[in-house]
Structure 1
Amino acid sequence: MNRRALTAVFAVSALGLALTACATDTEKTTTESGVQVVNSGKLTVCTHLPYEPFQYNKGGEVVGFDVDLMDLAADDLGLEQEIVNTPFETIETGQAMATGKCDIAAAGMTITDERDQVIDFSDPYFEATQALLVKKGAGYDSLESLDGKTLGVQVATTGEQYANDNVPDGVEIKVFEDLALLLEAVKSGTIDAAINDNTVLVDYAAKNPDTEMTAEFETGEQYGFGVAEGENADLLDAVNKAFADAHEDGTYDKLFEKYFPTLDKPTSLG
């Protein structure tokens, strides 16, 4: 593990200790079902836009697969979903939830051992792996083929971690704040390639045929929704029940087909 990766791990651990002390200071209200929320009548959800098709703006409204799944949980609790857009670093470190900015995070977030130290995760709801996006016909189909080139990553993501751990010395890594900036840099030729989750890259390439996804790296990732560590077990139970019901009555399958029409639903997720 290189210096950048170690720094990220230490930062998460240190932040977890600091947030443990302040999380209990957040005032919350209790719903009729006994779940505590930071805003009365609302299920306040942190995300980082855009991350299409999981959460993105469409016609002035935030929509997406994560949004629809969170609506299921909110409806079961008699609440209305309220979305808060916040930097992904504050989500994956648990800061946004522990400080009361939101009740839960829904941000296409992979469950990792480091994040599990500061976040309590829901049951997995999606599977992904890392992949490579390049300009159509550029010929880059592996990390090794990018020798002497520039690879873009999104800050604080598992894609950044994978790149730090696996790119050859001759590849320059450039960090971007969000997915939109990262993908636009590939499209414009500012960088030679980008690494991110395969699902969002497939979606982008389908809408931007001058780009293509040329490689996948089997990382075996699973997404989860997250609440403050040790603070909101009742909410997680309610979310997990809503997802279990959605699997049982076919709602999950319909949403999956809506947002991922070309993908097969993983049988391991219900």
Structure 2
Amino acid sequence: MPAAHRTLPALVLLPAAALALAGCTSAAEGGSDADAGGLTVCTNSPYPPFEFERDGEIVGFDMALADEIAADLGVEKTVVQANFETLESGAALDTDQCDVAIAGITITDERRASMDFSEPYFNDELALLTTGDSGVTGFDALGDASVGVQQGTSGEDHATEQGWSAQQFEDVELMFQSLETQGVDAVVGNVSALGERAAGSPDLELVDTLDNGEELGVAVQKGDTELLDQVNSTLERIRGDGTLERMRADWMGL
């Protein structure tokens, strides 16, 4: 999870020609594909717990959100894999590969220049994960403790800024394994990933969080206000009826 969230190139790509087959009518031409009977969603998997493959299907928090949007529109959802660079730049939307991009995309001013964002649907704040017997109770209690971080992430940036004794890992799974085998005393990363790990590991505890402004949004093509309003309407509904809270518990253990 990079500092600007999800900026690394995708591991799973589809050729542009294949993506175009799942394309949609552009906003400039009179509306998204959702108007014609379907909602095409660009994402970038694997990126658990937001999107990953299970039993041949792309599932996760973002896909559950896409299901809610499609249900409110009264249409079927189609998922298209895309290079994340085409998502954060708005290119996948501009070339009509999809109606919406839902892929753990942090809302930034730079990205707002290329696409429109919904209201935030998740605040992916920093979190501190440790073992139950580490003695680490929060960020302020780290002291000289060894801290694991994933390279190129906001967790690494924050650890560097704080001057902590940080050990870098290329892969998040290696970081978690080091914590579980006492190679490091704690790990710092986004609450979505750390919460999911804590929920599945009885020996681990999520002991602290820090709001660093990483708010995630659903992206639509610049100027597609009709679809954007529909997405925001769904977000308002699922906040109000408890669906969003249940999704957090189901996919992130939060």
TM-score tier by shorter-chain length is: 0.5 to 0.7
User: Please, which of 223, 230, 240 is the counterpart of residue 232 of structure 2?
Assistant: 240
Inter-partner Cα distance in structure 1 for 2:91 and 2:151: 19
Quick one: structure 1 residues 246 and 218, their matched pair in 2 at CA, closer, same or farther if it must change by over 3 Å?
A: closer
Pairwise mapping of residues 113-262 of structure 1 onto structure 2 (< 5 A)? 113-140=109-136, 141-142=138-139, 145=142, 147=144, 149=146, 151-153=148-150, 155=152, 158-163=154-159, 166-168=161-163, 170-176=165-171, 182-184=175-177, 186-187=179-180, 193-228=186-221, 230=222, 232-247=224-239, 250=241, 253-260=242-249
Cα-to-partner distance string for 1:17-41 (whole Å, 9 max, x where unaligned): xxxxxxxxxx74269xx53249984
Q: What secondary structure, in the 3-state scheme, does the structure 2 residue paired with 1:111 have?
A: coil
Inter-partner Cα distance in structure 2 for 1:163 and 1:192: 14
Amino acid at match of 1:129: E
The alignment covers a number of residue pairs equal to: 232
Structure 1 unaligned segments of length 5 or more: list them. 12-26, 264-270
Amino acid at match of 1:210: D
Cα RMSD (Å): 4.1
TM-score normalised per structure 2: 0.67
Cα pair 2:148 2:188 within 8 Å, conserved: yes
**Counterpart position of 2:47:** 50
Structure 2 unaligned segments of length 5 or more: list them. 8-22
Inter-partner Cα distance in structure 1 for 2:238 and 2:145: 48
Inter-partner Cα distance in structure 1 for 2:90 and 2:121: 19
Cα pair 1:132 1:213 within 8 Å, conserved: yes
**Counterpart position of 1:266:** none
CA-CA distance at 1:168 after TM superposition: 0.9
